[in-house]
Structure formats: C-alpha cells, structure tokens
Amino acid sequence: MLITIIIFVVILSLLVFVHEAGHFWTARRFGMRVEEFGFGLPPRIFGWRFYRENKIEKLTETEKISLEVKEEQRADGSVATEEIITDKTREIDLLTPIKKRSWVWGRGDEKENSVGTIYSLNWIPIGGFVKIKGENGEAKEEKDSFASKSIWKRAIVLASGVTMNILLCVAILSVGFGIGLPAAIDGIPKGAVVSDRSLQIIQVLPNTGAEAAGLKAGDVILGANGNNFTTHDSLRGFLSDKSGQTIDLKIKRNGAEEIRQVKVGEFENTVGLGVALAEVGIVRYPWHLAFWEGIKATWFWLVMIFSAVGLLIKNLFVHAPVPLEIAGPVGIAVLTGQAAKMGFIYVMQFTALLSLNLAIINILPFPALDGGRILFLIIEKLRGRAIKQQWENLAHNIGFILLMVLVVLVTYRDLAKYGGRILGALGKVVGL
C-alpha cells in the first residue's frame, strides 16, 4: 500500500511538473515574469528566490577644474570681480549583471518577493503550479505581465502545458518501445522483436458464458483444462468440439493467476467463449524505429481518448448510459498499484496514458481549465475586445467549483468501489 502511494505521488508529480514546466518556459521566452514555480501545493514550506542585479565597478575617474574671472566696473570707480570655478568629474563604470539568490521562508514578505522567481517547496506533496505575473488580468500596463502580451502569445503559454504532456507521452512510449512494451502483435512492422506472447481479452459479449464467469477486458488467457494457448488458432482448435461444455479457464488478472469455469457456446456458427481476443506480447523495436512507434501510438491513443470523451459528452446530453469508467484520485491510485504489480514496463505505459489524459482534459473548453482560458482568448479575438475581467474570473471560479464537486463525487464512487480493498491493504500495513 505504501509503495503504491509513493508511486502514485511520483507519477502525478511528474505529470504536473512537466505540464507546469511548459507554462514556465514559454512565459519566460515571451518576456513574462514568473513569480513562483511551486513543487507541491501551498502552503509554502520554503523557497529559493533567484534574480539578477547589476554590479557597479568603477573603471576610471577624471576631474577637470576650470576658473573663470569676470570684472565689472562700477559707477563709483571700484571694480567687482566674479570668480566662476567649475569642477567636472567624469566617471566610467562597468555594469556587470550577476545572479543573486535568497531564501524565502513560509509566505515571505510580498515586497521581498517582488523581483525574480521563487522556486518553492510546498506542504501538499502532489503536483505543482506556476504563478505568472498578470495571469488574472492585472498589471496590463507593465510589459512583463501576461495580460500585456498579444493574444497569440497568451494562447501559446496556455497551450504549452498540454503540449508538454503530449510530448512526455511520446518520450515515454519511445523509450518503452526501445526496451519492450506490451502491444498487439497483429501487423507489427519488420524489425520488431516479440516475446511473452499471450491472448488478451479486449471485449466481453453480453449474455455469454464469459460474462457469467466474470471475465473482463484486460484478462489474459493462459490455458484451459491443462492446455496452454498463445494464439487464436490454438484456442479455437481446443474449443471446436466443446460446445455446451464448461471448461476450467486459466487467466491472469492484475498479475495474479485465476481459474474460472466458463461455459462454451456457439456464436454465428463458431464455437467460442463469447469474447473478442487480441494476440499481444512484449514488443521491442530498434532505437531508430522506437521513436516513430512512440509517435504513432500517441496519435492512436489521442484519437481513441477524444472519441471516448465525445461519446461521454454526447450520452450525457441525450441521457443515455455512459459506457465508460471514470476514475478519480482514489481509482487512479488503485490502477497505479495494479500496474506496479505487473511490472515496470506497465507502469511506464500507464504513466504515458495518464499524461495524455491530463493533456486532453486540460484542453477541453471548460472554465478554469487551460482550454477554457483559450476559449476566452478566442472570444476576445472575435469581439475585438476582452470580456470584463471580473466576469471571466467569475466563470473560472464557478468552473473550478464544479470540477471540485465532480472530483468529490467520483472519489466517493471510487471509495464505494475500492474501499474494501483499501481497508484490507491498510490492515496489512498496521498488522490488523
């Protein structure tokens, strides 16, 4: 349980750090001042503040004194003398920019924090944040403010976090394909090396023996009645004369092997279990192909996730059942533990998928998300002027509240679903 929590926190922190690093880098590139880059969520424990100052070093100094005398004849015959002494000093200084650093403890002094960027460590060890000057519409007249920049620059800064999460997915999958990742082996290109071949269930048909036996998508079929299978043909040949019989099916689920009694049936003149199968294995590519395969896999996942999100939104509007599983923090933590049990390569693949999901969620045009803020920039471009800042801030605040309510509801459902498993794991940790 403890290891699962640590892995979950590390993965989530990595994804959020990469996301916020995208905002940080592009904001700095466009001349915006980043006030704080936080590791974890506030309140702040401490931070380092980095800033630049000019060091003045005197190179040369010259002094020139001149005297000018003016005489004026007065009416009484006397002479008035005026002496004008001019002292001119010429100094040449060298301004050398130097980097300076200072500590910031707790909240710190706001006046003290008015220059440079604070890199902070915060008490809640999940995720992180970037605070950009003027991100909420203030300081429009100051050239280092987010609000003072053009629409396209602000849009790039907002979209950069999503872009970084997509690139992270590509990077993880590219490295993964270089060392070997689980994948379907139908139609793989030449040069790939396949190991650990197996049959994986990708869909369970309703009203079948497989559904009655509790089989699920993701289960791996290892064998039946003492026979082992790694291909469609070998399983199909075994089942060909067993219509109506119940077999002992050996499967692997979340790294653990199980035996399920499944009744064999006939489906469109074909004897089978009532499942759709894919031949999978650990696929490894040469490094010159791994990067391309990482890009292709990322694109495939992007299309699939966008399609799933579109189906979810559509079904919500037409009041149709939602055929998708939505997991909150608790559910993701449980899935992280399942991936960890299966091995490092599965954790890598799971992390890449989470990074892509984070990118897609953030680009949705919903207030408080990056996509929602970009939507307001598009409206500003079409109208020729920005919406009043108080109205935009209100929309983002309402959107944030709705998102928190959704998180609470999904977390409650996750606890109802996984609560027994979590309590059991906690009991083992404390020795109950």
- Residue-wise pLDDT for 241-253, tens only, equals 878 888 888 888 8
- Residue-wise pLDDT for 11-44, tens only, equals 888 898 899 999 999 999 999 999 899 988 888 8
- The owner of tokens 């002496």 is 83
Q: For residue 398, give both structure tokens.
A: 């309402």
Task: State the pLDDT confidence band at 431, using cuts at 50, 70 and 90.
Answer: very low
End-to-end CA distance of the chain: 14
- Residue-wise pLDDT for 92-112, tens only, equals 777 777 777 778 887 765 555
Task: State the pLDDT confidence band at 159, using cuts at 50, 70 and 90.
Answer: very high
Is the separation of the CB atoms in 244 and 263 below 8 Å?
Answer: yes
Say which CATH topology domain 183-284 has: Pdz3 Domain (2.30.42)
Range in 192-206, 250-264, 417-431 the model is least confident about: 417-431
Which helix H or strand E contains 95, and what residues bound it? strand 79-105
Q: For residue 128, give both structure tokens.
A: 């992180």
Integer Cα distance of 329 and 407 in angstroms: 8
The average pLDDT across 284-297 equals 89
- Residue-wise pLDDT for 314-326, tens only, equals 766 666 555 555 6
Taking 70 as the threshold, does the pLDDT of residue 364 lie above it? yes
Mean of all residue pLDDT scores within the chain: 81
Residues 147-166: b if buried by 16+ CB within 10 A, e if exposed: bbbeeebbbbbbbbbbebbb
CA 408 from chain centre, in angstroms, equals: 20
User: pLDDT over 90 for what percent of the chain?
Assistant: 17
Q: For residue 100, give both structure tokens.
A: 């300076």
Task: State the pLDDT confidence band at 81, using cuts at 50, 70 and 90.
Answer: confident
Q: Note if the pTM is more than 0.85.
A: no
Number of other CB atoms surrounding residue 54 within 10 Å: 11
Which helix H or strand E contains 246, and what residues bound it? strand 246-253
Domains of the chain: which residue ranges?
A: 174-180+285-430, 183-284
**pLDDT value of position 326:** 61
Which helix H or strand E contains 248, and what residues bound it? strand 246-253
